């Protein structure tokens, strides 16, 4: 569980960075390759860390879409030229805040 906690902290750090990068909103994200690169990198790292969390922990917190995170990581890593930034923005707006709540809950409970 100690390793799980480190990965959860790492995921939370990525979420915080993403939040810092997109403070100026959708338009800045859509037009700035620097912001896109920073966000995509942190999404990749976040998703990679989520795959390293133990099966026991993932089972205990099954409300998190662990499989979806892994799939999204594969899209980001292996299809960089085909990244849908509109989809990424929707994930940033809707999924990342929910994930942050779940990760914080996990850290508090473990």
Distances (CA, A) of 20 to 23, 31, 35, 85: 6, 16, 10, 17
The domain in which residue 35 lies consists of: 2-109
Q: What is the pLDDT of residue 47?
A: 92
pLDDT digits (tens, 9 = 90+) for 11-60: 999 999 999 999 999 999 999 999 999 999 999 999 999 999 999 999 99
Q: Point out the catalytic residue in the list 17, 26, 58, 78.
A: 78
78 is catalytic: yes
Distances (CA, A) of 72 to 24, 58, 66, 88, 110: 24, 17, 10, 10, 26
pLDDT-derived band at 4, boundaries 50, 70, 90: very high
Count of domains for the chain: 1
Distance of CA 51 to the CA centre of its chain: 11
67 is catalytic: no
Q: Point out the catalytic residue in the list 26, 52, 67, 73.
A: 73
Supply the pTM of this predicted model: 0.89
| Cα separation, 11 vs 45, whole angstroms | 8
| Cα separation, 102 vs 100, whole angstroms | 5
pLDDT digits (tens, 9 = 90+) for 74-103: 777 676 567 889 989 999 999 999 999 999
């Amino acid at each position: 569980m100690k390793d799980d906690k480190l990965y959860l902290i790492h995921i939370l750090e990525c979420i915080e960075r993403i939040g810092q990068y997109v403070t100026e909103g959708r338009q800045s994200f859509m037009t700035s390759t620097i912001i896109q690169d920073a966000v995509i990198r942190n999404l990749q790292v976040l998703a990679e860390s989520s795959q390293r969390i133990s099966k026991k922990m993932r089972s205990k917190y099954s409300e998190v879409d662990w499989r979806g995170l892994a799939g999204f990581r594969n899209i980001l890593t292996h299809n960089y030229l085909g990244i849908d930034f509109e989809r990424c923005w929707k994930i940033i707006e809707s999924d990342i805040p929910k994930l942050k709540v779940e990760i914080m809950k996990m850290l508090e409970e473990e």
